[in-house]
Structure 1
Amino acid sequence: MYDALLAETVTITGHGGDEVEAYVARPMTPGPIGSVVVIHHMPGYDGPTKEITRRFAAEGYAAICPNLYTREAPGASPDDAAAAARAQGGVPDERLVGDVAGAARYLRGLPSSNGRVGTIGYCSGGRQSFLAAVSLDLQAAVDCYGAFVSGIPPKDFPLQLEPIAHRSKDLSCPLLGLFGADDKYPSPEHVAELEQELKAQGKEYEFHSYEDAGHAFFAVDRPSYRPQAAADGWNRILGFYGRTLAS
C-alpha cells in the first residue's frame, strides 16, 4: 500500500468571509475518507497541535487545524498570538462556529472526502468542539477536558465566555468526552452536570475519566502529561472516529 502524507498551510474562508490560515494534513490516498477539524488549545496554533493534525492524517483521516487567532496577530508566534487573543477576551463563540464551518466545508470539498466530518478540541478547544457540534451539522465530536461547557468561569479568567451545557438539546452527533479526575476546569462535578444534560436530552455520548490525571494530560511537552491516560485516550478517539467517520 502506498504510504505518504501531504501537510501544508492553506487559506480557508471563515466567519464573515474572512481569510483564515489553516494547517492541513491528509493521506495521499484516493479515498473516500473521513475528516477531522482539530481545534487548538488556548496557547494557540502551535507545533504540538500541528503534530496532532498530522497524527490524524497518519491514521487515515484528512485533518485541518484553523488558526483561530489569525485576525488578532497574523504571522505572529503562537505565544504572541495567544497573548493578543487573550487580551481581547478570546475567540467569540459566533466567530468560532463560522471558522469551524469554513474548515468543515474545506474538508468536504476535498476529492477524497466521504462527506463525514468530526471535530476534536483540547482545553478551550474542547468547549469549542462541543459548541461546534451544537451549532453545525457534524458526524462526531470529541471534547478533551473542555473547560466551561458547564460550570462558571472564575472572576479572573482571561476569556469572556459562558457555559453552554444547556445547548445539549441541539447536539448534532455522537460525543466522546475525555477528562482528568484531578482537573478543576472541568471538575468531576462539571462533567457530571454535562452528562446529566445529555441524558435528559437523550443524546448519544461516551465519557471517560482518568484517575491521577488533571488538565492537559495529552500534552507530551508538559508536566501534566500522563502517558497511560493519553494512550488510552488516543485508542478511544480512533475507535470512536472509526465508528462515526469511516466510510
Structure 2
Amino acid sequence: MPTYDALLAETITIAGANGDEIEAYSARPMASEPVGGVVVIHHMPGYDIQTKEITRRFAAEGYNAVCPNLYSREAPGASPDDAAAAARANGGVPDPRFLGDAEGAARYLRALTNSNGKVGVIGYCSGGRQSFLAGCSIDVQAAVDCYGAFVTGTPPEGFPLQVEPIGHLAKELRCPLLGLFGNEDQYPSPEAVNELEDRLKEHGKSYEFHRYDNAGHAFFSVNRPSYRPEAANDGWSRILDFYGRHLAS
C-alpha cells in the first residue's frame, strides 16, 4: 500500500517578540507520527517565494516547518522587495527582536500535535548569522548556517544593516552547528569562516563545516546567477543528514 504523502502549507500568525502578532508561513506533513520542526530564517532580501519553497521542502522531507516574516512590523502586507527595503532603511532586524520572533516560531512548532519536541533552525545570508545567534541563545537542538555574514568579520563602511560580529558567542553555543560556505564568498570570506571555526574548536563545540570551490554567496538561490547546483545539491544532502541525526524522534 503506498505511503500517504500530503502536506499543508499556509500563511499563519504567530506570537513573536514582545507578544507581537507577526506573519509566518507554515508547512507540515499530514502525518500523525511525531516529527521534528525547523524554523526557516529568510535571507536579507526578505520573506519571498523562494524562502516559502524551502519551507515546503522541509515539510516534504517529513518536518514541520515555519518561516517567520521578520519584516512584518516594517511593512505589513508589502511585497518582499518593499519590505526588505524598509527593513534596510531601519538598519535591519535588531538581534533581541529576532530572538523573540525565533522563540515564537519554535513555540509554534512544539505546540503542533505531531511535534516530537525537537526544533532546528536554518538561515541563509543574514539569516545564517541569525541561525548561529539562535543556536547560542534559545532552546534549539540543531542550527544550520548557510553563508551567514558577520558572525565574524567586520561589515564594510556603508553597509545598510546595523550588525556587529557575534563570534564571541561561540562559547555559548547550545547545539550542534552545520556550516555551509562558498570559497569565493566575500561575506563571509574564507578567513572569517576560519576565525569562527577556531572559536568553535577553542570551546570544544560540536560543529561540521563544508566549503565549496567555485561557489560564492547565495549558491542555494535557484533564481539567481549565483546558484551552483552541485554545491546546493550536496548542501541539501548534508542538511537532511544533519537534521536526521539531531531532530529525529
Structure 2 length as normaliser, TM-score? Answer: 0.99
Residue in 2 aligned with 1:10?
12
Report the Cα distance in structure 2 between the residues aligned to 1:83 and 1:213, rounded to whole angstroms: 26
After TM superposition, the structure 1 = structure 2 runs for residues 17-28 of structure 1, keeping only pairs within 5 Å, are 17-28=19-30
Q: Aligned pair 1:164/2:195, yes or no?
A: no
User: Which amino acid in the other structure matches residue 7 of structure 1?
Assistant: A
Report the Cα distance in structure 1 between the residues aligned to 2:59 and 2:53, rounded to whole angstroms: 10
Q: What are the Cα deviations for residues 161-206 of structure 1, in whole angstroms up to 9, with x where unaligned?
A: 1000100111110000000000000000000000000001100000
CA RMSD of aligned residues (A): 0.4
Q: Structure 2: give runs of 5+ residues left out of the alignment.
A: none
What number of residue pairs does the alignment pair up?
A: 247
Q: Structure 1: give runs of 5+ residues left out of the alignment.
A: none
Report the Cα distance in structure 1 between the residues aligned to 2:33 and 2:51, rounded to whole angstroms: 24
C-alpha displacement of 1:31: 2.0
Residue in 1 aligned with 2:128?
126
Residue in 2 aligned with 1:52?
54
User: What SS class does the counterpart of residue 158 from structure 1 fall into?
Assistant: coil
Structure 1 length as normaliser, TM-score? Answer: 1.00
User: Which amino acid in the other structure matches residue 69 of structure 2?
Assistant: N
Q: Aligned pair 1:239/2:213, yes or no?
A: no
User: Which amino acid in the other structure matches residue 69 of structure 1?
Assistant: Y
Percent identity, aligned pairs only, is: 75
C-alpha displacement of 1:238: 0.2
User: Which amino acid in the other structure matches residue 89 of structure 2?
Assistant: A
Q: Aligned pair 1:140/2:142, yes or no?
A: yes
Residue in 1 aligned with 2:204?
202
Residue in structure 2 matching 1:107, options 109, 124, 133: 109
C-alpha displacement of 1:95: 0.3
Report the Cα distance in structure 2 between the residues aligned to 1:18 and 1:170, rounded to whole angstroms: 27
C-alpha displacement of 1:227: 0.3
Residue in 1 aligned with 2:79?
77
Residue in 1 aligned with 2:64?
62
Residue in structure 2 matching 1:155, options 154, 157, 170: 157
User: What SS class does the counterpart of residue 86 from structure 2 fall into?
Assistant: helix
Q: Which runs of 4+ in 1 moved over 6 A?
A: none
Report the Cα distance in structure 2 between the residues aligned to 1:142 and 1:31, rounded to whole angstroms: 24
Q: What are the Cα deviations for residues 135-180 of structure 1, in whole angstroms up to 9, with x where unaligned?
A: 1011000000000000000011000010001001111100000000
User: What SS class does the counterpart of residue 134 from structure 1 fall into?
Assistant: helix
